[in-house]
Amino acid sequence: MTNPFDAIKTAFGSLKVNVLRSLLTMLGIVIGVGAVIVMVAVGAGAREMIGEQIRSMGSNMILVVPGASQQSGARMMAGSVHTLKSSDAEAISKECLAVKYTAADWSDVAQVVYGNRNWRTRVWGTWQTTFLMRDWPLRCGRMFGPEEEKRAAKVAILGQTVVENLFGDAYPLGKVLRIRNVPFTVIGVLERKGQTPRGDDQDDSVYVPLRTSQCRLFGTPFLDEIQAAIVQAKDEASIPEAEKQIDELLTRRHKIGRKQEKDFSVKNLAEIHETAQKSLNIMTTLLGSIAAISLLVGGIGIMNIMLVSVTERTREIGIRMAVGARYADILSQFLIEGVALAVSGGLIGVILGIVGAFIFARASGWPAAVDPATVLVAILFSGAVGVFFGFYPALKASRLHPIEALRHE
């Protein structure tokens, strides 16, 4: 029987006879494997980015919002509803044993001015606990305290994007800027945080005490009214219990009967993360399926070229059989050629796929995570395609009758 290494050498020698045809035959495999590598790398990178963005918003987080805000934010801002109060957030903090921290929020977009520079950003009225929940330290300065919250002090903490656009290289601490023509003293600058899962820049924000935003900036319809309460459970295992306790507490405080619709909603950020991951997985699977079709087309191309090769080399097959080659030798010879085409295409596809993934990542700003296991599976799969689609032409070649093959012109 023919030495396997000799068979491989002969196979590649046959493929080199017509290099252009071999390359065109591999094109479907190259595109398929390259597309799979790109899709998996970008998908893995996107999952990693979404996870990082969710973590940047804080761990074990629960969002409590007025029920009416799901139907019409304009109604809430106009003051026709006020179903959530800062006293509700205080009650959650004190009475819900599964809760670690609670913060109340009221925010709006406003023009912020310093000297001859101005910047339109989102201004958040909140409690100091929001920075503890989100694990968001200061780069310099200090936080506002409970006393400043009670007396609605005109102090502000800035995100990095606001600092860059208003102050440039100047030192911001102690400077006075104006928000809606109200003077505020800068007491702190936050570390850079990055984007949210929705793509919002978390650093493009100004934070002031909640009561300050209500009394001096936004003129809330009711002084106690808030847009949302941000809650952090003690740990991941406590999230369901925290949600249950919050729901029961607010139902009791708002005097909601069994058959009445609740005027608040409790949302788990982990569920939002899971939903985003599922959507991404569906999209990755869909695009991966399209790439798999390219592999199928590439396999059919290999079968087609191998059948043509068998026809062209019928006389050569007859000579080999005449000098002692067995059916198994001919079968393995053509099967190796088919696998060589597919694996070579797979290797080229892997290289192009890795390069394409990093080019896409650089262009889009998404990370790309190339998994070595994915690369190995792609190469093995391309080899399997070569075996599957190369087997019939190889079998046909091995079953040629030596005399008939020698007579072939």
Kindly report the three-state secondary structure assignment for every residue of 96-108. CCCEEEEEEEEEE
CA distance 292 to 31: 10
With 0-12 / 13-18 / 19 or more C-beta atoms within 10 angstroms meaning exposed / middle / buried, residue 209 is: buried
% of the chain surpassing 90 pLDDT: 24
Sign, Cα dihedral of 98, 103, 104, 107 = negative
**What pLDDT, in 10s, does the model give residues 314-350?**
777 677 777 666 767 777 777 777 788 788 888 888 8
**What pLDDT, in 10s, does the model give residues 341-368?**
788 888 888 888 888 888 887 776 667 7
Q: In 205-268, which ranges are continuous DSSP H helix? A: 210-212, 239-253
DSSP class of residue 172?
Answer: -
* Per-range mean pLDDT, top range of 2-16, 156-170, 211-225: 156-170
Question: Collapsing DSSP states into helix, strand and coil, what is residue 144?
Answer: coil
- Both structure tokens of 39: 């899709």
- Both structure tokens of 77: 């801002």
Domain ranges of the chain: 4-53+274-407, 84-262
Beta bridge partners of 182: 179
* Better-predicted residue by pLDDT, 68 or 353: 353
Of 205, 208, 378, residue with least CA distance to 288: 378
pLDDT of residue 218: 84
Q: What is this structure's pTM?
A: 0.58
Beta bridge partners of 110: 121
CA distance 302 to 342: 8
pLDDT of residue 77: 40
Confidence of residue 80 (pLDDT cuts 50, 70, 90): very low
CB-CB contact of 100 with 230 (8 Å): no
